[in-house]
Chains A and B, each alone.
Chain A
Amino acid sequence: DIDMTQSPSSLSASVGDRVTITCRASQTISSYLNWYQQKPGKAPKLLIYGASSLQSGVPSRFSGSGSGTDFTLTISSLQPEDFATYYCQQSYSTPRTFGQGTKVEIK
């Protein structure tokens, strides 16, 4: 199985801050990396697919980068509705695996 490791596990930030979350795969996954946002009691929502492609309807303040084993999700200017938990997920091989999540909290 491909292990996905996110860092940090949690962070505190203020509205307007630039936030960066990293995800590392235990082996190369090319660009087969997705990012999801999950709010309490809700299903995850796809933000980024293929490492850097913005899912339709997702605000442009979200961006993704990376390839191989190291990936980044960036929120350019944190908004109140962005406080949530973020997960990376690889689709390079089965079993599909997720990172452990990064909780973004209000400072």
Chain B
Amino acid sequence: QVQLQESGPGLVKPSETLSLTCTVSGGSISHTSYYWAWIRQPPGKGLEWIGSVHYTGTTYHNPSLKSRVTISVDTSKIQFTLHLSSVTAADTAVYYCARDSAQGSIAARSFDYWGQGTRVSVSS
């Protein structure tokens, strides 16, 4: 059973960089069919996809976050990491990591395994 666990600071100061790590257990991070994603949810609001990374290093991210997002993968540690720079109060949210996999005859992609989420507040 694949499990994902987020880790990182729960409080970040404005203008600083938010850094979170997701550790994957119970499965390979280096499977060609999988991407590894970050998704966030501001308090009382809906879900926002931040970006995804493949074990080869290929990344996709949400243009709404412009150039503030960096997602990387460390296959030796079976981890992937999110860096979000120049944070503001608007970046306060629960951050989830998830596995982005392809299933079915049309290889439909979906987020099939999720971490429990980690709450990050941006405040001085």
Contacts and interface: CB of A to CB of B under 8 A. Distances in A.
Give chain A's interface residue range (CB within 8 Å of chain B): 20 to 34
Interface in A59-107: 87, 89, 91, 94-101
Interface stretch (B15-23, B26-34, B46-54): B46-54
B interface majority secondary structure? strand
Contacts of A31: 106, 108
B106 A50 contact: yes
Nearest to B64: A95
B9 to A, nearest CB: 20
Give chain B's interface residue range (CB within 8 Å of chain A): 20 to 34
A46 B110 contact: yes
Contacts of A49: 103-104, 108, 110, 112
A30 B108 CA distance: 10
B106 A30 contact: yes
A98 B109 contact: no
Contacts of A55: 110, 112
Interface of A: 1, 30-32, 34, 36, 42-46, 49-51, 53, 55, 87, 89, 91, 94-101
The 6 closest A-B pairs by CB, nearest first: A50-B108, A43-B114, A96-B49, A49-B110, A91-B109, A95-B62
